[in-house]
A and B are shown apart, each in its own frame.
Chain A
């Protein structure tokens, strides 16, 4: 019995349902959780494609870090449902237009002309000791080394920009300098005074 199609259809059904739920669900925490589910099932499908490195990195980075921070923000919000629904008719026409444009663009890119089954050869099943981690590393650090480095620099710029946007000096707040705390010695704080015990005068 071939188990692969069963696994594929099971996970793709979950993936499609979860993705639909992300945009239809009212509660934003649920939406974020459905997005997590979508990422996770997507990773499972990638495993089926024998792309274990990419799929595990998807879980590690997107599910394990990015979505946690997302949930963080969403959990803190106190969103009123009725307020959200107020602008529905107002934004329906521009929103619908944007949606149509996106659908047309998607159809052009991933439509049957470019993306049909006949356009791609069947994926080759690899031996068990085939390591696509190694292959990926080889490709990334030889053929694609410049794009790779460029992406790294881009991220660095983004980090510096984010820090410089949010960092502000606040001299009025009290905060501790751990280095100073560690350097403090007993002599700086305590003074032992030696003195004669006093006698009470009669």
Chain B
């Protein structure tokens, strides 16, 4: 049976094979995005001693579908004095990078769409494109609040992108490769060997910068509903508005997966190297561990939103430029020295 499937799969033309693989990756992402919105409302609800959505379907499980349907049926209003092409291009340009970056994410050993040598650089480069969607839609809306928000967002993403890039240089230094699979394999051993421990400051800087990069609370000055209404998407409605939200949540998942791959051992089991437990859990496929780690990091995103008040804009810039960038530069030196002297158990 498996052989038959194998031969039929090989018969399929290459282009179609790739398209099928993309569908297999993108459909679950979109589903997770839908249910992440429900998870967010539920988690924040329970943190605030409420129940959260519980009317649509059992325990509110059909809520995301109802929300999606509602947004799809609403009219897309295009403001008269806006730039129509760019106005519609903006949401698309925001969502596309969040999905394209998944091409290099390894889900298990050898399970990856493109095993790119410079995979890490690819993910970083593609994620840096996300800012264009916001800049373009903010400018094309021809609205003051949207423009203010777009400018805020642009400055924020460029500043935190630098700290993020520096943190990743540390990972590359420690793993000795830009390939995401090799980065995971360099963390093999036990959960002490994962890079979160030797690169702890970079791990924190990367994850917090990730929160800023995805424009989530407490760094959501671009939305800032108390200051600039809703920011760059104030003029959007219906499906065009929904695309911004899909992009925000897809970016959250992407940042979480990348953090899990680079700092938390990717698909590696947390029980590796522990006698007894390692054998007991050896049947669990690697992708389950990766998804579990991603889910944990996503929970942090929701937790942050329910806990911290929004940063003031100058505080946010200060944190990015005067705290994160010096911390990463210092820790790059430390990592370089540790790699040079083959400090065990990580770099021997």
Residues in A lying within 8 Å of B, measured CB to CB: 29, 33, 36, 52-53, 56-57, 59-60, 63-65, 68-69, 71-72, 75-76, 129, 131-133, 178
* A75 and B118 form a contact (CB under 8 A): no
- Can you add 10 more A-B contacts, CB < 8 Å, to A68-B135, A76-B151, A129-B117? A53-B118, A56-B125, A60-B165, A64-B125, A68-B132, A68-B157, A69-B158, A75-B139, A133-B118, A178-B318
Which B residues are CB-close (under 8 A) to A131?
A: 117
Question: Which of A29, A60, A76, A133 meets B125, CB within 8 Å?
Answer: A60
Q: Are A53 and B121 also in contact (CB < 8 A) when A64-B129, A75-B151 are?
A: yes
Q: Smallest distance from the beta carbon of B177 to chain A beta carbons, Å? A: 8
B80 adjacent to chain A (CB < 8 Å): no
Q: Are A56 and B128 also in contact (CB < 8 A) when A68-B135, A75-B135, A178-B315 are?
A: no
Interface contact tally, CB-CB below 8 A: 67
Q: Are A75 and B158 also in contact (CB < 8 A) when A60-B124, A64-B131 are?
A: no
B140: nearest residue on chain A (CB-CB)? A29
A75: nearest residue on chain B (CB-CB)? B139
Q: How far, in whole Å, are A75 and B132 apart by their CA atoms in the complex?
A: 12
Question: Which of A59, A60, A69, A75 meets B150, CB within 8 Å?
Answer: A75
6 chain-A/chain-B pairs, Cβ below 8 angstroms:
A29-B139, A65-B161, A68-B135, A69-B154, A72-B154, A75-B151
Q: How far, in whole Å, are A60 and B121 apart by their CA atoms in the complex?
A: 8
Q: Smallest distance from the beta carbon of A182 to chain B beta carbons, Å? A: 11
* A65 and B121 form a contact (CB under 8 A): no
B167 adjacent to chain A (CB < 8 Å): no
B298 adjacent to chain A (CB < 8 Å): no
Question: Which of B117, B129, B132, B158 meets A133, CB within 8 Å?
Answer: B117
Q: How far, in whole Å, are A57 and B157 apart by their CA atoms in the complex?
A: 17
Q: Are A75 and B147 also in contact (CB < 8 A) when A60-B121, A133-B118 are?
A: yes
B304 adjacent to chain A (CB < 8 Å): no
B299 adjacent to chain A (CB < 8 Å): no
Of listed B121, B155, B161, residue having the most chain A CB within 10 A? B121
Q: Smallest distance from the beta carbon of A89 to chain B beta carbons, Å? A: 30
Q: How far, in whole Å, are A29 and B89 apart by their CA atoms in the complex?
A: 14
Which B residues are CB-close (under 8 A) to A64?
A: 125, 128-129, 131, 161
* A68 and B158 form a contact (CB under 8 A): yes
B178 adjacent to chain A (CB < 8 Å): yes
B136 adjacent to chain A (CB < 8 Å): yes
Question: Which of A57, A68, A76, A129 meets B131, CB within 8 Å?
Answer: A68
Q: How far, in whole Å, are A56 and B179 apart by their CA atoms in the complex?
A: 14
B116 adjacent to chain A (CB < 8 Å): yes
Q: How far, in whole Å, are A75 and B122 apart by their CA atoms in the complex?
A: 28
* A33 and B136 form a contact (CB under 8 A): yes
Which B residues are CB-close (under 8 A) to A56?
A: 118, 121-122, 125
B178: nearest residue on chain A (CB-CB)? A133
